[in-house]
Structures are given as structure tokens and as C-alpha cells.
Amino acid sequence: MNKRIVSWYIGVSLLLVCALMTVSGIIACLTPDDPSAIFLFYSALITGLVGIFPLIYVRKGSHKLTFKEGNCIVVISWILACILGMLPFLMYGGEFNLINAMFESVSGFTTTGASILSDVESLPKGLQFWRIATAWVGGVGIVTLFSMIMMKRMDWSMLSKTEISNVARQTVKGEKNGFFFHRTLIVYLFLTLATFLSLMTTGMNWFDSLTNAMSACSTCGFCIRNTSIAFYDNVAVEAILTIAMLAAGMNFGILFLTFYRRSKHNLFRSETIRVFLAFVGIAVAAITLDLIINGGQPLGKAFRDAVFQAASISTTTGFATADTTLWPPLSMSVLIVCSLICGCSGSTSGGIKIDRALLSMKGIRRKISTSLDPGRVKIVKVDGMIRSHEQVNDAMGFIFLYMVVVAAGTAINLAGGLDFTTGFTASISCIGNVGPGFGDVGSMANYANLPVFIKLSSMAEMLIGRLEIYPLLYFLSASR
């Protein structure tokens, strides 16, 4: 492995973090009496120096990246981005000690949306924007975004293969990686802009509109209000954000094809998206009925809360309009299932992904069919494409590893003194990049009071979930 070239690419990726810090600092300068500008500019300077150092002393040349090098670039870039991203929080102080600042940074970049802040509204606007900016760039991928803008196609394609899972690229038949990644960025930008403009029409101010749009489209769930979206108590706002979250939970390649040209691979014909929407619809129906029968809520409120929370948790956004820890057990159970399976591959959602769940279920059905009738040839098709045995096994293997991490995280949380509900749902929420769980980490609570080593293990789960397990395993194996 060419370590000099790896360091060059890592440096280039960190320059994006520097640029976002600078933008946040400019916003702080434009806000009267905002003390965060100096912290953001100092942090940008430090990050810029770390990023530009390898560019000065290493010449990139025409070296073609290998998979091993690409994987190391992605993993190290994410880790360094999280470390450097905490600097503005740490310099500001307040609720941010070293661990809390790191936790907020990791949660943002991985689009988890779990927070240690008890008073978000007290933060200066510069830091509020930086907090949301980490989530927005993390949604599409730190390395993917910058490499598509600055690097040759051959190089960013290799890097993106590591940062975006293979199952996402298998969704659209015949699409080259280059087209897939560029279309992902186009859809991401358009969706963010459309959500921002739509929120502005509700009377929301530009800063709230922008930050909520960025948070919804990255499916992070960070909000600049202490009570999240419940603060606005506006049906129009909730409707716009619900649509934005559901769109962000769908495969961006398919969304692009839906509006770009006629294709059988579009929003209205995609089996995966139909299953995803049906999954959310069933969750909404179950929660609505449960809130009416066992929660004593009127139909209108039950349906409104159920739609928003099911969309929020199913897409791993984590926005809240109600305290779900007060809901009946059935509703909480449905949301836990939603936070496990989540959205589609090729989206900004975390979790197992509906694609893998669907592929695994069809693989199980094929196994049963061939066992009952050994002479029968049974193929597995998803979205009209035949899936190989290897692809089915990969999906099942990922789900197995995913649940192993959930179990390990739960064990660590319980060993730290958390009750089962809090420990179990916190583990699911962190690896799934969901944010809120139940118990002490519910939708209207935060992670501030967790022990330090649980915060550290939670950060590890966030990174494992965002990189979808295998890149970190490859990295650990390569470093031995």
C-alpha cells in the first residue's frame, strides 16, 4: 500500500471539512454578537493545515488506487473528520467537554442525530450551523462528495465503492458507478433546496428552514430547537418534512431516473421502494390504532403523530413531534422494528436497509422451495434483476453481523448500569444512525448523562453503522 498517496487523498478530503467550518464561521460573523466565529475560524485553520500538509510534500502522480488503499482512505478520513470536527465545540466549552464534543461530532458526521445537549437553543448560530453541516456532508459521504468534485473519475469511483455499499449500486441495472454517484449528488442537492424553499413558504425563517432541510435530507435529525419539530406545532411543516424524509430514505439513483427519463427503474415501478412505502404504511396504521385504542388519543392527533414518527424513525432521521417513550408498548415495538430495517440502499438512511431484508426473505423462501422440491430451479429477483447466491448470502451475512454488533452494544450498555430498554434501544439507534431510542434516550431526551465508556462505545457503533461494518473490518485486517 502506498502510504504517501493514501495521506494525499486523506488531506484532500479534510479540506472539505475546513471549507464547511469556514462557511459556518462566516454565518457566525453575519450574526450579531455571535462568539463562535473565532472558534470556527481557528478550527478551520487547524483542519486546513492538517489537510494541506500531505498535499505540499506528496505528489499524487498517476498512481491508480487499489481497493485496500481506497478503504484506508475512507476509514481514516471519517475518523479524522470526526476528531477535527469536534474542535469548534471543544473550544466553545459549555456543555462540551472532550468526550461530549467528540460525541456530538461523530453523531453529526454519521447522521445519527444523538446529542448530549440539553439546551440546543443556547448555542450560537455559527455552532448550530456547523452542527447541521457535519450531518449534511455526512449524509452523502465525506470522501464521496469531495472526490466527485475534485478528483478523476477512476479515483473517486474506487473511493465511493468503499463508502457506499455495493447493494446500493446493484439497484439500478446497467448504471455505471460514475453516473450513479453523480446522480446521487444531484438528487441530494435538489432535495435539500426544494425542502428549504418549501419550509420557507410556511412562515419559517431562513435559518430554521435551511438547517431543518439539511437535517431532514441527510436523515440526521439534528434540530436547532430543544423540542425538535414539536416546537413549530405546524401541520404544513410536518407534512413537508415527512415527504423530505421519505424521499431521502429512497434510492437516489431511482429517484433521478424517475424524473430524468422513462425507465422501468423508477419510483413507481421499483419493488424495493414499494415495499419500503408499504412497510411505513403498515407501521403508521398499527401505531395509529394503538394510540387510539390504548393511548386514548383522538383519530386526528394519533394519525398525525404516527405518520411523522414512523417516517422519521423508518428513515433514521430522528425528528420528533411527540415523546414516544410515553406511547403504548405496541407503538414502541413498531418503532424499534422501524429503526432496525429502515430505508433503501442508495439513500442517506442507516440501518439494515429494506433491500437486504427483502433479499434475505426471498432467499429464505427459495431455500424452503428447493428443499421441498429439489428438482425445482428457483431464482431470486429484486426489482426485476436476478440476484446471485453470493448476493443473497452477503445480505444475510450483513444482517447477522449487524445483530451481533447490536447485541455487543447492548451488553456494554447494560454493564454500564443502563436499564434494558435504554441499553437495547440505544445500541439499535447508534448502529442504525437513528438517534433517539426509548427509556433515558427517548425522543425528548438526550445522551448527556450516559457514562463515558458507554459514550465511547456508542461512538464506535455510529461509525460501524455509517460505514456498514465491512470497511472497518477490512481496515482492521489490513493494519495487522
- Render pLDDT for 122-171 as a digit per residue (tens, 0 to 9): 999 999 999 999 999 988 776 565 555 555 554 555 555 555 555 545 54
Same domain flag for 121 and 192:
no
- In what helix (H) or strand (E) does residue 5 lie, and over which residues does it extend? helix 3-30
Query: Average pLDDT, whole number, for the chain?
Result: 87
Amino acid letter, residue 244: A
Letter string b/e over residues 83-121, b meaning 16 or more CB atoms within 10 A of that residue's CB: ebbbbbbbbbeebbeebbbbbbbbbbbbbbbbbbbeebe
Same domain flag for 110 and 41:
yes
What pLDDT score does 373 carry? 78
pLDDT beyond 70 at 321: yes
> CA angle at residue 160 from 156 to 163, to 5 degrees?
145
Please identify which residue in the block is written with the cell numbers 471539512.
Answer: 17
What pLDDT score does 142 carry? 65
- In what helix (H) or strand (E) does residue 308 lie, and over which residues does it extend? helix 299-314
Q: Could you give the percent of the chain with pLDDT greater than 70?
A: 88
Letter string b/e over residues 344-353, b meaning 16 or more CB atoms within 10 A of that residue's CB: bbbbbbbbbb
| Span of 16-25, 140-149, 229-238, 422-431 with lowest mean pLDDT | 140-149
Contact 219, 347 (CB under 8 A): yes
Same domain flag for 359 and 332:
yes
Same domain flag for 156 and 181:
no
> CA angle at residue 169 from 350 to 10, to 5 degrees?
70
What pLDDT score does 13 carry? 85
| Span of 150-159, 251-260, 332-341, 389-398 with lowest mean pLDDT | 150-159
Same domain flag for 91 and 231:
no
CA distances from 168 to 64, 286, 357, 384 (A): 24, 29, 13, 15
* Most confident of the ranges 2-11, 85-94, 267-276: 85-94
Q: Which three-class secondary structure state does DSSP give residue 380?
A: strand
What pLDDT score does 174 carry? 45
What is the number of structural domains in the chain?
Answer: 2
Same domain flag for 1 and 130:
yes
Nearest Cα residue to 82 out of 456, 475, 478, 477 = 456
Calpha distance 349→336 (Å, rounded): 15
- Domain range for 282: 176-403
Q: What is the pLDDT of residues 170-180, one digit of tens each?
A: 544 444 444 55
Contact 143, 119 (CB under 8 A): no
Grid cell for residue 305: 403523530
Same domain flag for 127 and 44:
yes
Contact 186, 145 (CB under 8 A): no
Is residue 472 included in any domain, yes or no? no
Q: What is the pLDDT of residues 73-110, one digit of tens each?
A: 888 989 999 999 999 999 999 899 999 999 999 999 99
Is residue 124 included in any domain, yes or no? yes
What pLDDT score does 10 carry? 87
Is residue 476 included in any domain, yes or no? no
Is residue 339 included in any domain, yes or no? yes
Same domain flag for 4 and 83:
yes
Is residue 466 included in any domain, yes or no? no
Tell me which DSSP letter residue 260 carries. Answer: H
Q: Is 240 exposed, middle or buried (0-12, 13-18, 19+ CB in 10 A)?
A: buried
Is residue 423 included in any domain, yes or no? no
Same domain flag for 214 and 311:
yes
Is residue 426 included in any domain, yes or no? no
Same domain flag for 146 and 239:
no
CA distances from 314 to 153, 237, 340, 366, 436 (A): 33, 18, 8, 27, 12
Is residue 427 included in any domain, yes or no? no
What pLDDT score does 154 carry? 47
In this prediction, residue 261 has a pLDDT band, given cuts at 50, 70 and 90, of low
Residues 6+ apart with CB under 8 A from 180: 168, 169, 172, 253, 346
Q: Which three-class secondary structure state does DSSP give residue 451?
A: coil
Q: What is the pLDDT of residues 55-75, one digit of tens each?
A: 776 665 556 777 788 888 888
